[in-house]
Amino acid sequence: MSTTVTRFSRIVPLVAVVALSVGACGSPWARDGGATAKSSSTTSNASAASAGAPTAPTVPTAPGGPVQDNGIVAKGESSLEAAEARNVRLVRNGPAELALQFELFNGTTTSVTASQWTDPTTRRFLLFDLPRGTSYQVLKETSDPGYKGTWGRLSGNWLNPIGPGQSITLTAVFGAPPVEAASMVAAMADLVPVQVPIQPAGAPALKPDPILADSHNGSNSGPLVCASAKQGGPTSFRLPADVLFDFDKATLSPAAQVALDSLAKQINGTAGAVSVAGNTDAIGSDAYNQTLSEQRAAAVADALRRTLGGSFTFTSVGFGKTKPVAPNTNPDGSDNPDGRAQNRRVDVNVTTTDPAPQAPPSLTSGAVSSDLSVTVASASRLGGYLMTYLRVSNTGTAPATFPYVNTATANAAKGGLFAGELAVLDTAGTSRNSLCIPGGNPNTYFSYAATMTSYRAIDPGQTLTLWGLTPAPPGDVNTVNIQVGGFGQPIPTRITPGP
């Protein structure tokens, strides 16, 4: 008998519900713990397909779906999961809010609740506006108890029972992305993320819910901070300008300092050189964009000087609209707002020069059971990022140790990969892209833009799907090596294009 943390709990007294959220007997996995064991083999996505592995998920078309009658469907990470979120939709709730709503279907044989998702210290929901490099967490709870927002801006029915074969409509409210954002990636606890189009305010898909009328307490959003390190060279960070600055401004926003603090924690050294480059989209004159890019680069350099201290030297430069990383227009000549959003950025390169630099990070620091094997299901470009899905399977006859936990601090990125954590290497082994860290309020139980539920074992014959967001490699790169913590050799993987 093994244990798990799932998003459901059987209907029992509240004290028992809390206990089940730590580990419920008779389920496939459990949070926390896990002994050290030898690493298992790795398999490429091509060989996995030939071996009859499950079809690779793809975010642009909703992994595991869409299902015609049930809209966009988010399925569980576990191959044993009998429940799913159906008809996942995003609808604007006025100018400043976005509602995530779905029908949570219970495919088990007993009544369940979604109680685990209501833990105010977890709020295991993330929305990603990837072209703008921004993540959103659920808005803070209301001060008006009439809306039942005890756990944040969640509908008041999260403890209601869901009978076998039945569904319940659940609502979560987030800050709204800019009006030009057409879709977002929705990640919900132990479900596989799905990309969801954004419907306008007043769309009939949004069912009435009292929590929609609650007050707005700030967007609870922030930039994704992602590190790309070169062997013997700089560590690069690409910061989205739309989160760092207000429109047409070069004054840093409150969210900017949170992002720069996160960046600083990922720098493996105490002295060196920092270069900052500002870039804009193609709207406006050359002179205007050049000046704005210089001012924004200088503002970030000044803030990093205060954050990192005087042992680093700092330079800043602006390139205006001369160095785009995505098309500003579509092939037919129409405006491409997602492409322009990627071009509005500040690039930071940090080269450390410590007399005794720390050793390079270990890529196999997290040990797992030798009965486990890993395959790369897919790796696709998505809004300037790489979305990678892994499948970890137990080929043995007993539960296999798998101490996956996504609760490390940003400092842990310096020390190696925890079990199941992924990194993207170039084929020459000279660069390494690490998991991105989401913005918004710090979360107690997950730190990275990756699988948000912890595990410690996988039952025999079962498979777990993991996911993670890293910076996308240059556009002319179509093959990378995926390294997975606890497993031996990197997995050669072909990148599939995305929107």
pLDDT value at 321 more than 80:
yes
> Do 212 and 347 fall within a single domain?
no
How many structural domains are present in the chain?
2
- Span 162-175, average pLDDT: 94
What percent of the chain shows pLDDT beyond 70? Answer: 77
Burial class (CB in 10 A: 0-12, 13-18, 19+), 325: middle
CB 307 within 8 A of CB 264: yes
Instruction: State the pLDDT at residue 159.
Output: 82
Structure token pair of residue 230:
């070169």
- CA pair distance 203, 94, nearest whole angstrom: 11
CB 318 within 8 A of CB 294: yes
Q: Is residue 486 part of a domain?
A: no
> Do 215 and 238 fall within a single domain?
no
> Do 79 and 195 fall within a single domain?
yes
pLDDT value at 297 more than 60:
yes
- Span 318-340, average pLDDT: 91
Q: Is residue 12 part of a domain?
A: no
Instruction: State the pLDDT at residue 122.
Output: 59
> Do 76 and 211 fall within a single domain?
yes
Q: Is residue 245 part of a domain?
A: yes
Please say which residue of 352, 378, 404 terminates a domain. Answer: 352
CB 185 within 8 A of CB 191: no
Q: Are strands 463-471 and 385-394 parallel, antiparallel or unpaired?
A: antiparallel
> Do 84 and 204 fall within a single domain?
yes
Count of positions (residues) in the chain: 499
Lowest model confidence (mean pLDDT) among 142-151, 188-197, 330-339, 415-424: 142-151
Please say which residue of 193, 221, 249 terminates a domain. Answer: 221
> Do 309 and 346 fall within a single domain?
yes
CB 468 within 8 A of CB 462: no
Instruction: State the pLDDT at residue 150.
Output: 61
User: Cα Rg for the chain, rounded, in angstroms?
Assistant: 22
What's 257's domain CATH number? Answer: 3.30.1330.60
Instruction: State the pLDDT at residue 100.
Output: 97
> Do 288 and 209 fall within a single domain?
no
Lowest model confidence (mean pLDDT) among 141-145, 252-256, 266-270: 141-145
Q: Is residue 436 part of a domain?
A: no
- CA pair distance 197, 181, nearest whole angstrom: 9
Instruction: State the pLDDT at residue 248.
Output: 84
Instruction: State the pLDDT at residue 364.
Output: 47
Q: What is the pLDDT of residues 138-155, one digit of tens each?
A: 888 766 665 665 677 888
CB 428 within 8 A of CB 412: no
> Do 212 and 248 fall within a single domain?
no
pLDDT value at 429 more than 60:
yes
Confidence of residue 1 (pLDDT cuts 50, 70, 90): very low
Domain around 276: 232-352
Name residue, tokens 């996956």. Answer: 404
Q: Is residue 209 part of a domain?
A: yes
Integer angstrom CA distances of residue 385 from 44, 128, 225, 309, 434: 20, 11, 11, 30, 11
Q: Is residue 211 part of a domain?
A: yes
Instruction: State the pLDDT at residue 322.
Output: 93
What's 63's domain CATH number? Answer: 2.60.40
Instruction: State the pLDDT at residue 470.
Output: 96
> Do 263 and 319 fall within a single domain?
yes
CB 28 within 8 A of CB 460: no
What is the pTM for the complete model shown?
Answer: 0.83
Integer angstrom CA distances of residue 179 from 88, 175, 176, 377, 439: 20, 12, 8, 33, 20
pLDDT value at 211 more than 60:
yes
Question: Of 245 and 362, which is predicted with more confidence?
Answer: 245
- Span 303-307, average pLDDT: 91
Lowest model confidence (mean pLDDT) among 73-77, 351-355, 492-496: 351-355
Task: Tell me which amino acid residue 425 is.
Answer: L
pLDDT value at 16 more than 70:
no
pLDDT value at 350 more than 80:
yes
Burial class (CB in 10 A: 0-12, 13-18, 19+), 292: buried
Please say which residue of 167, 189, 221 terminates a domain. Answer: 221
Integer angstrom CA distances of residue 380 from 316, 377, 475: 32, 10, 12
Burial class (CB in 10 A: 0-12, 13-18, 19+), 82: middle
CB 189 within 8 A of CB 453: yes
> Do 237 and 159 fall within a single domain?
no
Lowest model confidence (mean pLDDT) among 137-146, 197-206, 316-325, 477-486: 137-146
Instruction: State the pLDDT at residue 376.
Output: 96
Instruction: State the pLDDT at residue 399.
Output: 94
Q: Is residue 386 part of a domain?
A: no
CB 54 within 8 A of CB 32: no
Lowest model confidence (mean pLDDT) among 15-29, 91-105, 223-237, 475-489: 15-29
Structure token pair of residue 338:
């997602």
> Do 92 and 182 fall within a single domain?
yes
Instruction: State the pLDDT at residue 30.
Output: 28
pLDDT value at 394 more than 80:
yes
CA angle 8, 13, 18 (to 5 degrees): 55
Q: What is the pLDDT of residues 437-477, one digit of tens each?
A: 988 776 677 889 999 888 889 999 999 999 999 999 988 89
> Do 240 and 178 fall within a single domain?
no
Q: What is the pLDDT of residues 369-393, one digit of tens each?
A: 889 999 999 999 998 899 999 999 9
Instruction: State the pLDDT at residue 499.
Output: 58
- CA pair distance 46, 56, nearest whole angstrom: 11
Lowest model confidence (mean pLDDT) among 186-195, 307-316, 329-338, 441-450: 441-450
Q: Is residue 54 part of a domain?
A: no
